[in-house]
């Protein structure tokens, strides 16, 4: 639980009162297990559902995330629509946002016989639109103000964002089993592909893009959800994140289909395979380290170690 998360026993009542002001004919309001620390309530009506989210941090605002949703919908991406935004609810003392629901369920739940390729290609087109939104700076999107006229991030350069924790991360991985040979391979990759960190412009990244955030209904793509981890990054960060987790949830690789859809909107470098492997390695190192710090006995560690070593092996073949 986030250290600043509001512990308010009156929260369900406050949520119900707010929902009652926004909607009529509410059938139910349910707390849902969605989001890592953000509190999420589903407002159920006869014909449609809505999601009410409460940010855990005092002083933070949903305004930048709402701006991202608005910009993406203007670009034609299928993402939830913002119905209501409150920078700081007086009763909750937290920022509140209400969105429409994306129909269907995530691609993690797909029935046999449905055309997965078309769904993933459509998601690739929307991902290219997501990654076409400019951001001022790199790293986590700043949420410290209600006046969100543009998306701003924490670091002036991509290198600063990418290497913010690298020394400490590698030191921890050494203690948990990264061999000296593997450490040397990491440094070799960082040196060999260093020029790819000279990114002149940051672009919006979903930040946590995988099959669980791609939605479909009856075999038809319906949209992308959960922009709680948006950041400014290089234009291929989300593709690299998807590559990192490709095959974990579904017993097949979907990256090639995602790239097919992506290329319909945005041209890709001839070195895209190397770029994705390099970025995926950086993400894998950071993700594995965070899990080791928070939950040393988590079974995900095995997958994390596999990912780090797989990308090292892949990059070694390119060098």
Mean pLDDT of the chain: 92
| Pair of tokens at residue 131 | 């990654």
Domains 11-100 and 105-318 share a fold: no
The domain ranges of the chain are: 11-100, 105-318
Q: How far apart, in whole angstroms, are the C-alpha atoms of residue 130 and residue 123?
A: 10
Residue 5's pLDDT is 46
pLDDT level of residue 34 (50, 70, 90 thresholds): low
pLDDT (average), residues 20-38: 86
CB atoms within 10 A of CB 271: 12
Residue 4's pLDDT is 45
pLDDT tens per residue across span 1-20: 344 444 567 899 999 999 99
The pair phi, psi for residue 76, each rounded to 5°, is 95, 5
The yes-or-no verdict on residue 160 having pLDDT over 50 is yes
| Pair of tokens at residue 224 | 């992308």
- CATH for 11-100 is 3.30.200.20
Alpha carbon of residue 234 to chain centroid: 14
pLDDT tens per residue across span 244-271: 999 999 989 999 999 999 999 999 999 9
CATH class in words for 105-318: alpha beta
pLDDT tens per residue across span 197-256: 999 999 999 999 999 999 999 889 999 999 999 999 999 999 999 999 999 999 899 999
């Amino acid at each position: 639980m986030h250290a600043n998360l509001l512990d308010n026993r009156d929260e369900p009542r406050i949520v119900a009162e707010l929902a009652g002001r926004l909607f009529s004919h509410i059938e139910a309001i349910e707390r849902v297990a969605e989001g890592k620390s953000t509190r999420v309530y589903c407002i159920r009506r006869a014909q449609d559902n809505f999601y009410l989210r409460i940010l855990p941090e005092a002083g933070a605002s949903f305004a930048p995330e709402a701006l991202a949703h608005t910009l993406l919908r203007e670009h034609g991406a299928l993402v939830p629509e913002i119905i209501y935004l409150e920078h700081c609810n007086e009763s909750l003392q937290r920022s509140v946002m209400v969105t429409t629901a994306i129909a269907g369920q995530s691609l993690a739940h797909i029935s046999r016989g449905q055309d997965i390729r078309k769904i993933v290609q459509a998601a690739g087109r929307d991902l290219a639109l997501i990654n076409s939104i400019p951001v001022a700076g790199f790293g986590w999107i700043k949420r410290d103000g209600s006046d969100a006229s543009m998306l701003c991030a924490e670091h002036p350069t991509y290198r600063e964002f990418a290497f913010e924790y690298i020394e400490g991360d590698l030191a921890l991985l050494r203690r948990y089993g990264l061999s000296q040979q593997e450490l040397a391979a990491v440094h070799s990759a960082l040196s060999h592909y260093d020029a790819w960190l000279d990114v002149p412009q940051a672009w919006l990244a979903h930040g946590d893009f995988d099959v669980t955030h791609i939605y479909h209904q009856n075999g038809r793509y319906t949209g992308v959800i959960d922009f709680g981890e948006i950041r400014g990054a290089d234009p291929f960060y989300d593709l690299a994140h998807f590559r990192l987790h490709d095959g974990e949830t579904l017993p097949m690789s979907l990256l090639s289909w995602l790239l097919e859809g992506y290329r319909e909107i945005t041209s890709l470098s001839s070195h895209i395979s190397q770029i994705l492997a390099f970025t995926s390695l950086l993400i894998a190192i950071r993700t594995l380290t965070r899990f080791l710090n928070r939950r040393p006995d988590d079974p995900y560690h095995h997958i994390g170690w596999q990912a780090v070593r797989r990308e090292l092996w892949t990059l070694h073949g390119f060098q």
